[in-house]
Amino acid sequence: MTDKKTRTLSELGEFGLIRKLTEDIVLRHPGSRKGVGDDAAVIDHKGFLTLVTTDLLLEGIHFDLTYVPMKHLGYKSVVVNLSDIYAMNGTPLQITVSIGVSSKLSLSAIEEFYKGIKLACNQYDIDLIGGDTSASNHGFTISVTALGTAQSKQVVYRSGAKKGDLICVTGDLGGAFMGLMLLEQENKKFNSDPAYKPQLEGFQYILERQLKPEACKNLGRKLLAQKVKPTSMIDISDGLSSDLLHICEASGTGSRLFADRIPVHAETAKLAAQMRISPMVAALSGGEDYELLFTISPGDAAAVQSLEGVTVIGLMTDQEEGHLLELQDKTTILMEAQGWNAAQKWGKL
């Protein structure tokens, strides 16, 4: 008789795999009326607006399994979707997860992936309520959909910014990009010489920013406590410059960023110097930081500046003024979107 621990994906079959991956799922929210196990999930949000977002992650495009642990990948796959709900000033409550699995992946690898998913569900208090599985001829494919709620008066869109509004950001920027640069550099050296030991010491923070990012789940609560509602908001997935331009395009404004105010972590600056990359380039164009970029009315400046981890980095201007980056010597340069290339990653619809 085959030991259950050593059974293969083909021996389990699709339904056996689904049962194995979901048998310990517990629904946390009363609104999750029905989860895994029927033709559709049933959700009751009782009068709140429902928010829905989805992300597609493809092996070889969005992640490289030669250096990305499966547990971290599962966690990150959830977090990048939750970040979009928080960027609407909402609260994520449920997710669905669909995967396409190639024959090269083992059952233990898929179980590790789901451990990461379940860890994220615990960390962010959300329910996994369904999804789909399929065989894949082209590597590992992941599709996660997140659902959340928000009160109608609290929802924040990209389109509400006005001239004179202040531009704010949470956390620090460029770390995820520099973490990726380090992983790709060391992986390339290892592939050239299998005896090579990757040199990752001293860069734990930026590696975690790339491999296991966190979403800004507490900003909305903190702003509400200060009686502040952002005029616009977006999460930083494509890079500060690209995502700010998304807000400006939707709001019909220009923008001015102050280079000396953009927050950069010490590890980001250290590795950037070693690789001869400008930390400002990493912050503006790197992407995958999953911090929140938002604008506020000038009258809310004092309340927002009192919040730990929030930095005012610029202001919104007339659309005709374009998008400028003011350097330390007060000269300005034109800022353009230089984040993820569309050939590498399709954006949100």
d(CA 104, CA 135): 11
What is the structure's pLDDT at 105?
Answer: 93
pLDDT at site 36: 60
- The pTM of the full predicted model, rounded to 2 decimals, is 0.87
Give dist(CA 314, CA 168) in Å, integer: 7
Strand ranges (E), 59-106: 91-101
Q: In residues, how long is the chain?
A: 349
Q: At what angle do helices 266-274 and 175-192 cross, to 10 degrees?
A: 40
What's residue 46's pLDDT?
A: 79
Q: List the one residue out of 58, 77, 63, 55 whose CA is nearest residue 124.
A: 77
Q: Distance between CA 138 and CA 134 in Å, rounded? A: 12
96: β partners: 130, 145
Cα dist. 276→174, 178, 269 in Å? 14, 11, 10
Torsion sign across C-alpha atoms 92, 98, 101, 107: positive
CB–CB of 75/114 below 8 Å?
A: no
Over the stretch 108-149, which tens digit does the pLDDT of each residue have?
999 999 999 999 999 999 999 999 999 998 899 999 999 999
Predicted confidence at residue 255, as pLDDT, reads 97
For residue 244, give the 3-state DSSP assignment: helix
Low-confidence residues in the chain, pLDDT < 70: 1-10, 12-18, 21, 33-43, 337-349
What pLDDT is stored for residue 35 in this prediction?
Answer: 63
* pLDDT given for residue 344 in this prediction: 40
Q: Phi first, then psi: give them for residue 291, nearest 5 degrees.
A: -85, 170
Q: Are 186 and 199 in contact (CB under 8 A)?
A: yes
Token readout for 249 is 């395009």
**Residue whose tokens read 């599962």:** 74
DSSP three-state, residue 103: coil
In the chain the domains, ranked by start, together with CATH numbers, are: 13-150 (3.30.1330.10), 158-334 (3.90.650.10)
